[in-house]
Structure 1
Amino acid sequence: MTAGGYLKRLTRRLTEDLEQLDAETISKQSQQTGAQRACDCTAGDEVTMHGELRSVETCSKSMKTGIVAEFFDGTDVVTLKFIGRNRIPGIEPGRTLTVRGRIGEHDGHKIMFNPYYELLGES
């Protein structure tokens, strides 16, 4: 490893947007697992993706009971909707997981209903 290469990486880390660095890290982890990239998936595709939950909300409106989570794999966001659930242990912001299911589209955004999921690591 050369000093020039080290300084270049250090300067990049200090000046680059933290959100961009986070996206690159998550994307690299996703590629290492062999998962599909969310940006390449379209409605109707059955996929396996690896990423991180950015937010988790509980919806308690009469017909729309469930949990809605924002899943990010470093390339795109997919909404995960767990219908009929008020709480799922381990489904919380910052948690890393692998999800499997069929991609849909709602209001121009990617969505996956009741995905199979595997929790990875500790929160």
Structure 2
Amino acid sequence: MTDGSRSGRRGTGWRRLLGLQDTPPETPDTGGDPAEEAECVHIRDCTEGPEGRRVVTVRGTLRSVGERTVGGLPALEAELDDGSATLSIVWMGRRSIAGIEPGRDMIASGRLVASRGRSVLFNPRYELKPLGTE
């Protein structure tokens, strides 16, 4: 089964649409709680390593949430702030997600991508923290 791209690799169309280079297929997601899989790192320490895009888990507060288009398709973009720096989070094909709103604490886990000079997590796994917990 493919995503309709000629290479037959899942997600290749999105990477091409965003101007990102193709990378080898990723290992399948095994499920589970992002907070249990890896320790959260400070956003300021989130950079692509010499081996390429790495998987990171970060925790912070959503400072802004808005809709934009990427290649004519809807995308929900949020800015996550942990006090050390900010990180863009983008959910492709979404205009809104219940609970994703400014002021909400969350943990996000995904493959770090450098796009337009900024670090971005595309379609991360995430956990919203209950309101009033810090």
- With the length of structure 1 as denominator, give the TM-score of the two structures: 0.68
Letter in 2 for 1:75: S
Give the number of aligned pairs: 91
Runs of 4+ residues deviating >6 angstroms:
none
Tell me which structure has the larger Cα radius of gyration.
Answer: 1
Cα separation, partners in 2 of 1:61 and 1:47, compared to 1, 3 Å: closer
Paired residue for 2:79? 70
Q: How does 1:102-117 map to 2 (within 5 A)?
A: 102-117=111-126
Superimposed CA distance per residue, residues 8-49 of structure 1 (whole angstroms, 9 cap, x where no aligned partner): xxxxxxxxxxxxxxxxxxxxxxxxxx4111111112121111
CA shift, 1:61, in A, is 6.4
Identity of aligned residues (%): 36
For 2:63 and 2:112, the matched residues in 1 are separated by 18
Letter in 2 for 1:38: I
Cα separation, partners in 2 of 1:60 and 1:41, compared to 1, 3 Å: closer
Q: How does 1:8-87 map to 2 (within 5 A)?
A: 34-43=39-48, 44-60=53-69, 63-87=72-96
For 1:96, which of 101, 105, 128 is the aligned residue? 105
Superimposed CA distance per residue, residues 47-74 of structure 1 (whole angstroms, 9 cap, x where no aligned partner): 1111010000012566241100001111
CA shift, 1:122, in A, is 1.4
Gaps of 5+ in 1: 1-33
CA shift, 1:105, in A, is 0.9
More deviation, 57-66/74-83: 57-66
More deviation, 61-70/99-108: 61-70
For 1:74 and 1:121, the matched residues in 2 are separated by 19
Gaps of 5+ in 2: 1-38
Q: Secondary structure at the match of 1:65?
A: strand
Q: CA RMSD in A?
A: 1.9
Q: Which has the higher helix share?
A: 1
Cα separation, partners in 2 of 1:61 and 1:79, compared to 1, 3 Å: closer
For 1:74 and 1:68, the matched residues in 2 are separated by 19
